[in-house]
């Protein structure tokens, strides 16, 4: 018998359907299930860590302000020597075990799958809604696909990553702050309308 899927931190408040103002272009919200690990390079081992990431995950460790994607994993730069690796939810602890084996002696690996959650927002209203609580310049000339930043949105620490030109933004927050962050997002998007899928 397999272990039950953990309850999503937003299960009690993210009711699927249309919310807020009517219109043709609502803010689209999805709750992708992700396994996540934070990878912290050991001093002087970043070059070897980059080689190990390429070999094990098929991606280059991204520089500041960037993310790198491979078919089964994404790495987002957090701060010097620190990256957040994410993959679609799989077997419990699989990403952490894979990263720990690949990066043994090169980095510390901390499973964040239960400590963080991701909210994806997309559509024409996405930049406008996020700008209501985010200090970053999210204009396409300044923040496009593959860009990422650790910032605050509505006073909540958030890792923001634009995944494509639609635009789709993945917002990763600590699970304990997911509910108040989600309530802010719903309020900020109400005038544009919000569609929770």
Read off φ and ψ for residue 107, nearest 5 degrees.
-155, 155
Q: Using one digit for the tens of pLDDT, what is the confidence trace for 92-124?
A: 789 999 999 999 999 999 999 999 999 999 999
Cα–Cα distance measured from residue 195 to residue 161, given in angstroms and rounded to the nearest whole number: 20
Q: Using one digit for the tens of pLDDT, what is the confidence trace for 28-74?
A: 999 999 999 999 999 999 999 999 999 999 999 999 999 999 999 99
Q: What pTM value is reported for the model?
A: 0.92
pLDDT at 90 over 60: yes
Cα–Cα distance measured from residue 94 to residue 87, given in angstroms and rounded to the nearest whole number: 10
Q: Are domains 25-32+115-196 and 34-111 of this chain identical in fold?
A: no
CATH homologous superfamily of 34-111 equals Heterotetrameric sarcosine oxidase (3.30.70.1520)
Q: Does the domain at residues 25-32+115-196 carry the CATH identifier 2.60.130.10?
A: no
Per-domain residue ranges of the chain: 25-32+115-196, 34-111
What mean pLDDT, rounded, does the chain reach?
94
* pLDDT at res. 160: 98
* pLDDT bracket for residue 5 (50, 70, 90): low
Cβ pair 59, 75 in contact under 8 A: yes
């Amino acid at each position: 018998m397999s272990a039950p899927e953990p309850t999503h931190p937003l299960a009690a408040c993210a009711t699927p359907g249309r919310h807020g103002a009517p219109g043709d272009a609502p803010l689209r919200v999805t709750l992708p299930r992700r396994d996540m690990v934070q990878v912290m390079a050991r001093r002087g081992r970043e070059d070897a860590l980059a080689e190990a990431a390429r070999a094990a995950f098929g991606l280059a460790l991204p520089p500041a302000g960037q993310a790198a994607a491979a078919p089964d994993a994404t790495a987002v730069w957090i701060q010097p020597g620190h990256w957040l690796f994410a993959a679609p939810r799989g077997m419990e602890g699989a990403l952490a075990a894979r990263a720990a084996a690949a990066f043994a002696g090169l980095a510390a690996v901390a499973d964040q799958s239960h400590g963080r959650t991701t909210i994806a927002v997309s559509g024409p209203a996405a930049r406008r809604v996020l700008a209501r609580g985010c200090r970053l310049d999210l204009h396409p000339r300044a923040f496009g696909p593959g860009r990422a930043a650790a910032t605050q949105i509505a006073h909540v620490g958030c890792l923001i990553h634009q995944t494509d030109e639609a635009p789709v933004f993945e917002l990763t927050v600590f699970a304990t702050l997911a509910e108040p962050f989600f309530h802010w997002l719903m309020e900020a998007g109400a005038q544009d309308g919000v569609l929770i899928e």
